[in-house]
């Protein structure tokens, strides 16, 4: 029978010894019997998300977890946000992430988030969606959370080698930047002109929009501009389905992760109770993962954002609590799965040490368990417990290949 695999990703779980936890990391301090039991039935170690000593973002960390070389395929945040917003990019498209912002009629930025507008942004995006520029290029726009929006240009001869219109954070009082070509190509020059044309079109459309008329009556600033940044092209690397002939599913609350999963060719599943916060419904995620496995998905990825937030907020006790909830979730799934039929793996996209309140380049505890996986002795789970494991010093990409090889889908190199 064809085997399946489940991968649990604990976002930012890797950490450093913490004085509030008797010099242990949150994962070492936490009571995690299920993670320890599973790790002892397989291979484990501290793996480097991308490269030793390189802190990575959630986007880049997940590209590696999904088997890509981020140095090769990462072109910018725009495409990831576009996928997260549900836009299917086509070859030749370029994508931006944007902010709804407030400008005056000279295009001076007055508020780069339009007072963090979070009502009416779907209608504002819909007013820009479908705009056609002078050369026939189509504009696709979708609202993201709060003041954020994804914008895709679909047309002939577009290039991502341009500067964008956003003057940057804390640059209120500065004018919108007119885009410029970053190389000598005619495509870059043309695209820079198109993005300025779009910017000039956005202002009257949004200024006259009923959402903004209502905002003016309510003495709120109008969201009359979209500041564009993070331009990039569709990733050129093949999707997981065509590379390995497998069907993948990703269960997550975080839009960035959902975007990268779609880009990688996984089907994505999101529910309102997956909040990407401390209050996310761990057990609802577990149930959904089990049901996707029973539907026949080959590789099911379950992502939990909460440990990363605890790291950014320097809340080691909360991170411990999240590790324990995650352990219960993993234990619940392990009870219902047969390790001879379904591998269970665990990793993180990066470390987010509480003491640092940001991502670090430290490697992350990882394991893959299964009936026929090589084993080593293990006395607990966490950074110090797994360091002697055979996965130590692998990369996220290596770990992806290891899982795919267990599934028997990696082609043989050589005769």
Interacting residues toward Zn ion by CB under 5 A: 11-12, 58, 308, 349
Give the nearer residue to Zn ion in terms of CB position, either 4 or 58: 58
Q: How far apart are CA 409 and CA 289, in angstroms?
A: 21
Give the nearer residue to Zn ion in terms of CB position, either 61 or 222: 61
Minimal distance, residue 74 CB to Zn ion, in Å: 15
Give the nearer residue to Zn ion in terms of CB position, either 57 or 92: 57
Give the nearer residue to Zn ion in terms of CB position, either 28 or 308: 308
Give the nearer residue to Zn ion in terms of CB position, either 201 or 312: 312
Minimal distance, residue 58 CB to Zn ion, in Å: 3
Minimal distance, residue 104 CB to Zn ion, in Å: 37
Which single residue brings its beta carbon nearest to Zn ion? Answer: 58
**Tally of CA atoms within 13 A in the half-sphere of 34 that contains its CB:** 18
Cα 364 from chain centroid? 17
- E strands in 72-182: 94-103, 109-111, 138-143, 148-154
* Under 8 Å between Cβ of 230 and 77: yes
What phi, psi does 372 have (nearest 5°)?
-115, 25
Q: Name 106's Cβ contacts closer than 8 Å, sequence gap at least 6.
A: 175
Q: How far apart are CA 374 and CA 402, in angstroms?
A: 12
Q: How far apart are CA 47 and CA 322, in angstroms?
A: 21
Minimal distance, residue 52 CB to Zn ion, in Å: 18
Minimal distance, residue 9 CB to Zn ion, in Å: 9
Minimal distance, residue 316 CB to Zn ion, in Å: 17
Give the nearer residue to Zn ion in terms of CB position, either 212 or 256: 256
What is each CA distance from 203 to 76, 206, 209, 288, in whole angstroms?
A: 25, 5, 10, 43
Give the nearer residue to Zn ion in terms of CB position, either 11 or 93: 11
Burial of 203 (0-12, 13-18, 19+ CB in 10 A): middle
Minimal distance, residue 32 CB to Zn ion, in Å: 20
β-strand partners of 46 = 365
């Amino acid at each position: 029978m064809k085997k399946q695999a489940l991968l649990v990703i604990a976002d930012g779980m890797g950490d450093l010894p913490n004085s509030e936890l008797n010099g242990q990391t949150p994962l070492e301090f936490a009571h995690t019997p299920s993670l320890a039991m599973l790790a002892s039935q397989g291979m484990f170690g501290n793996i480097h998300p991308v490269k030793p000593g390189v802190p990575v973002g959630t986007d880049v960390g997940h590209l590696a977890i999904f088997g890509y070389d981020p140095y090769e395929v990462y072109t910018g945040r725009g495409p990831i946000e576009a996928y997260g917003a549900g836009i299917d990019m086509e070859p030749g498209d370029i994508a931006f992430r944007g902010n709804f912002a407030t400008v005056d009629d000279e295009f001076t930025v007055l508020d780069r988030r339009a007072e963090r507008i979070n009502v009416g942004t779907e209608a504002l995006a819909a007013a820009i969606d479908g705009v056609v520029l002078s050369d026939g290029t189509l504009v696709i726009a979708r609202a993201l959370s709060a003041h954020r929006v994804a914008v895709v240009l679909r047309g002939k001869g577009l290039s991502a080698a341009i500067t964008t219109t956003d003057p940057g954070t804390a640059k209120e009082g500065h004018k919108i930047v007119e885009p410029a070509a970053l190389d000598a190509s005619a495509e870059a020059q043309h695209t820079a002109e198109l993005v300025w044309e779009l910017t000039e079109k956005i202002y009257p459309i949004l200024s006259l929009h009923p959402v903004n008329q209502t905002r003016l009556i309510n003495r709120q600033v109008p969201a009359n501009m979209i500041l564009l940044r993070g331009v990039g092209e569709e990733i050129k690397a093949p999707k997981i389905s065509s590379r390995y002939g497998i069907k993948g599913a990703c269960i997550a609350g975080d839009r960035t992760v959902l975007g990268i999963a779609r880009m990688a060719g996984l089907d994505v599943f999101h529910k309102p109770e997956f909040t990407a916060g401390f209050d996310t419904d761990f057990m609802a995620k577990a149930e959904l993962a089990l049901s996707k496995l029973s539907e026949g998905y080959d590789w099911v990825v379950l992502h939990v954002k909460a440990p990363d937030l605890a790291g950014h907020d320097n809340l080691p006790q909360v991170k411990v609590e999240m590790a324990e909830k995650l352990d219960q979730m993993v234990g619940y799934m392990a009870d219902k799965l047969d390790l001879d039929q379904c591998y269970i793996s665990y990793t993180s996209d990066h470390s987010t040490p509480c003491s640092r309140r940001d991502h670090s380049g430290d490697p992350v505890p990882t394991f893959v368990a299964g009936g026929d996986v090589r084993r080593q002795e293990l006395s607990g789970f966490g950074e110090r417990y797994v360091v002697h494991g055979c996965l130590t010093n692998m990369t996220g990409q290596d770990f992806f290949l290891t899982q795919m090889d267990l599934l028997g889908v990696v082609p043989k190199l050589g005769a």
